[in-house]
Structure 1
Amino acid sequence: MDKLNLGKHISGKFNEELESVMSKVLAMGGLVEKQLMDALEAIQKSDQELAERVLKSDRKINELELEIDQACTRIIAKRQPTASDLRLVLSILKAISDLERMGDEVERLAHVAQESFSKDQEHLLVSLENLGQLVLVMLRQVLDAFARMDEEAAYSVHQQDASADRQYEALTRQLMTYMMEDSRSIPKIMDVLWAARSLERIGDRCQNIAEYIIFFVRGKDVRHMSPASMENTVKGIR
């Protein structure tokens, strides 16, 4: 599995199984990325047909999650992996769960794109654009880090989530101001708020995947580490 930066195994069959599973994970990630990109475009252009295609694409993501889950279960049962191989399988199982949930969050974005917004309300959708693009970049980067099992790149994505959180908080305050100024717009503002919340959650799940990468490479669970401890772990400082 040189191309995935995971090394070779004594068993060629085992190597093939791991490579197949990793390829499916990356394919699943690519579908989620395309789904998110299309949902953001559908919102920007008020394209209901594109939004409908986004909703239909979620089925393939769910199918891939099941395929990968079953393949990992077979690997554990047949190969009884230890050490780094077991960490890889566990990281994959956790990552596909987050990817599937990202797909669910994207569905909310697609539903917002299907709503009818008046000319006076279109500015509400524009406010989602910056947050959406930041989260999309995070997703692309964490998938690339996962393909290469690059803990430094994963750590960089992990750090970006703070920026996504700040943008989400600023957007929430802005939308609440609009709500107080015009009570008639509350239903539409709530739609946009839920969409913003979905984007923030996608960013959180990118952060989760970054943690799985570090777990695989370093063999340490960094989920509840302080920022300084995590940085030391990534740099190999004890």
Structure 2
Amino acid sequence: MTDKHLSSQFDNELNNISARVMELGGMVESQIRQAIYALSRFSMEAVEQVEALERRVNTMEVEIDHELSTVIARRQPTARDLRLLMAYSKAISNLERVGDEATRMARMVKSIIASGAARSLPTGDLRLAADLASGLLRKALDSFARLDTKSAVDILKEDDLIDKEFDGFVRKLVTYMLEDPRTISPSLDLLFLAKAIERIGDHSKNIAELIIYLVEGKDVRHSTLDQIESAVS
């Protein structure tokens, strides 16, 4: 078998894995959309759809991870290709965790519905933060597909907006609980829900950092924005 043929097979395997990663990303996006719908309408049907998608996401993560391990063992890729495969591995891990957070959101909505206090809670700001987090993941997946470092840096900046939304919502929720202690239990569910939204933003940020690592070969985790912008300039 010629080296050219081997190279062509390897390229096909990489393309297949890339497509599967994007498919997983689309499935996780669906989870988030359903979780946001569950929150906005207090819909048990949407909660159940999120939980059903979780099982599919978990299965796909294991399948892609197995494909990656098989390719690494069989092809023994060079440093550059190995970096790509490792980035895929880290990306699917982050996507699976985003799915976990969407499921956590759905279960918190279920708890709020069961409490009977759903309509009286301040969920409007939370839906805005959830929409921001969903949009950030979409941008991260698009940037990952295009290996766009400029867009990756923009994602890192936008994650700060989600953090600010979270901080503002926590302050508002504390005030709400102080004014009406009867809402403390369902309000705590909202607090955990808000934390799940913030973590979705964090995982999108992790994917953005992977893009910079792939393109520039620089690990920018725990770096300041100024240092990251310098690394990609």
**Partners in 2 of 1:29 and 1:100 — Cα distance?**
9
**For structure 2, which runs of at least 5 residues remain unmatched after alignment?**
none
Distance 1:217 1:110, change over 3 A: same
Distance 1:16 1:122, change over 3 A: farther
AA of the residue aligned to 2:99 = G
Given that 1:9 and 1:15 are in contact with CA atoms closer than 8 Å, whether structure 2 keeps it comes out as no
How far 1:87 moved relative to its partner? 1.1
- Tell me which residue corresponds to 2:165: 167
Matched, 1:103 2:108: no
What SS does the corresponding residue of 1:81 show, helix, strand or coil? coil
How far 1:149 moved relative to its partner? 1.2
What SS does the corresponding residue of 1:11 show, helix, strand or coil? helix
Which of 7, 27, 34 aligns to 2:30? It is 34
- The total of aligned residue pairs comes to 228
**Partners in 1 of 2:131 and 2:187 — Cα distance?**
20
- Tell me which residue corresponds to 1:4: none
Given that 1:152 and 1:234 are in contact with CA atoms closer than 8 Å, whether structure 2 keeps it comes out as yes
- Tell me which residue corresponds to 1:124: 122
User: How is 1:40-189 mapped onto 2 (pairs within 5 angstroms)?
Assistant: 40-114=36-110, 115-116=112-113, 118=116, 121-189=119-187
Once the two structures are superposed, residues 16-75 of structure 1 have per-residue CA deviations (whole angstroms, 9 ceiling, x without a partner) of 100110111000000000110111011101111111111111011011111111111111
How far 1:123 moved relative to its partner? 3.8
Which of 222, 225, 228 aligns to 1:227? It is 225
**Partners in 1 of 2:17 and 2:119 — Cα distance?**
45
How far 1:158 moved relative to its partner? 1.2
Once the two structures are superposed, residues 104-136 of structure 1 have per-residue CA deviations (whole angstroms, 9 ceiling, x without a partner) of 111111112323265784342223111001101
TM-score (norm 1): 0.91
What SS does the corresponding residue of 2:95 show, helix, strand or coil? helix
- Tell me which residue corresponds to 1:3: none
Identity %: 40
- Tell me which residue corresponds to 1:209: 207
Q: Which runs of 4+ in 1 moved over 6 A?
A: none
AA of the residue aligned to 1:61 = V
AA of the residue aligned to 1:149 = L
